[in-house]
Structure 1
């Protein structure tokens, strides 16, 4: 454990323990927040602030202004603002701050880049033309069919156990962010690919290290998300003309194609496991942009004049 030199840094450590024990935040979020707050502590120390009670809005704004001057992205600034506001609220509730200066901070609007997605034809070519040989081939097809066919996150896919698969109902029991469990429907191609893997592929890779994991690596252990990402990139590269995407790109594609097919936002939100409908609404913009692109390409007056 790093040495603590002042009460503000000790408060950050206590806050980290609070997030871990009581808020059950993900390890990624915990690392990001503590990294942001340690940076704040360093800045505060440079201006003579070492006590939680000395944190005020001028210090916080000066720190954020310095982040902006260093060229931090809007996404990073938004996350750092969120980290500070959560921290000052915690300090205020514990009586270490008389007032909560985080309430006076504005939140930088994050740029929402439209995610890359496959066309429906690209998705069909990728899955129908995949070279499926041996247990690894069966696994890879099952992995890609599941990612695209259900829209699950790659971490959720790798966390699946055999008992999470209901072949009769064609559903998956998925443990998502924040420990939230949901049931996700599978289409027939995805269900068939997973069943083929379980029947003819998994037994040839399984060993004493496999446990109940549904998807396995070549050494028999639970498939790691990094390996799953490599599989997706490699398999897409084998099909000419299909743009390279990550597993998250397949998730984006699944959501976009659901909406294009007439699914309502609430249903897509539930399938994807989004806590907020606002996150799901991003895909309506994806669909709208694609429709505009089709119009520009296909309509005789759709092209912009030079």
Structure 2
């Protein structure tokens, strides 16, 4: 019979497993930690503090509580992934005799099509920063880079000089689980990147102090340090306002736009999967729904008997 563990201890051990053996990113680990802490709070309120006290009924009560708080099916499903992962790991490790998540069924979240920017909106957004200042050169290069590669914002912010192969028009991106992929850069992105590296980056790097002057990060903040995801999020929203884009925008929408525009242009789904760094092609297939909508609009607008 498995030894009962304190739930706090079990969660900490599981998060350490995800960090060391699964090599998950800091952002993913934080998300798992937050979700599991919500579970612990719920179970503690019910007087449950050890792994052998957790039942399927207790977990169903947790899901019911999430629903009553107004969380969407999608948000509930995300938390359930963390909970199920915890108890499956405990069972594999022999730390519990029965997995209480077995038999518990979560309602499937409806697939949500990603929002994207139109091509004309992309052009306005990229033009918004201007190229008269070091920050303008940086932001223009970063917008061009993200739209040219479809990279995640973390991949752009963590990018180092050694990953650039501009003479070949290529960049090596490091994605989830430290998996690397090589992605081409178009001419517009190359021109913007060279201008940033030759003119803008040295100006910002000169503002750095001490060891920060030795940074190998490609994109720097206004003090010459590493650019953060939060900092870039605020900048892109400012540029969207300048470009006259009134709806909500985030760096990730450049990734969605990249994928959709490729498929609309006839790109192979497997090629787009590779460029995006998706482990499963089913993740990429959501973009085919958007592409089909594009085809339908084109048919309705141009077929003489539509």
| TM-score using structure 1 length | 0.88
- SS of the residue corresponding to residue 12 of structure 1 reads helix
**Residue 117 of structure 1 contacts residue 252 of structure 1 at CA under 8 Å; is this kept in 2?**
yes
2:182 paired with 1:212: no
Note closer, same or farther for the CA distance 1:200–1:37 as it changes in structure 2 (3 Å cut).
Answer: closer
The residue correspondences of 1:38-187 to structure 2 (distance < 5 A) are 38-127=37-126, 131-187=130-186
Farther off after superposition, 287-296 or 256-265: 287-296
Alignment length, in residue pairs?
A: 297
The residue correspondences of 1:192-231 to structure 2 (distance < 5 A) are 192-207=191-206, 208=209, 209-210=212-213, 211-231=215-235
**Residue 127 of structure 2 contacts residue 140 of structure 2 at CA under 8 Å; is this kept in 1?**
no
Deviation at 1:73, TM superposition (A): 1.3
Which of 284, 289, 302 aligns to 1:285? It is: 289
User: Separation in 1 of the partners of 2:11 and 2:289?
Assistant: 39
Long gaps (5+) in structure 2: none
Long gaps (5+) in structure 1: 1-5
User: Separation in 1 of the partners of 2:88 and 2:255?
Assistant: 34
User: Separation in 2 of the partners of 1:142 and 1:263?
Assistant: 24
- SS of the residue corresponding to residue 105 of structure 1 reads coil
Farther off after superposition, 132-141 or 259-268: 132-141
**Residue 122 of structure 1 contacts residue 242 of structure 1 at CA under 8 Å; is this kept in 2?**
no
RMSD of aligned alpha carbons: 2.4
Note closer, same or farther for the CA distance 1:126–1:30 as it changes in structure 2 (3 Å cut).
Answer: closer
Q: Deviations over 1:114-141 (max 9, x none)?
A: 2221222332344357532122221111
Deviation at 1:201, TM superposition (A): 1.4
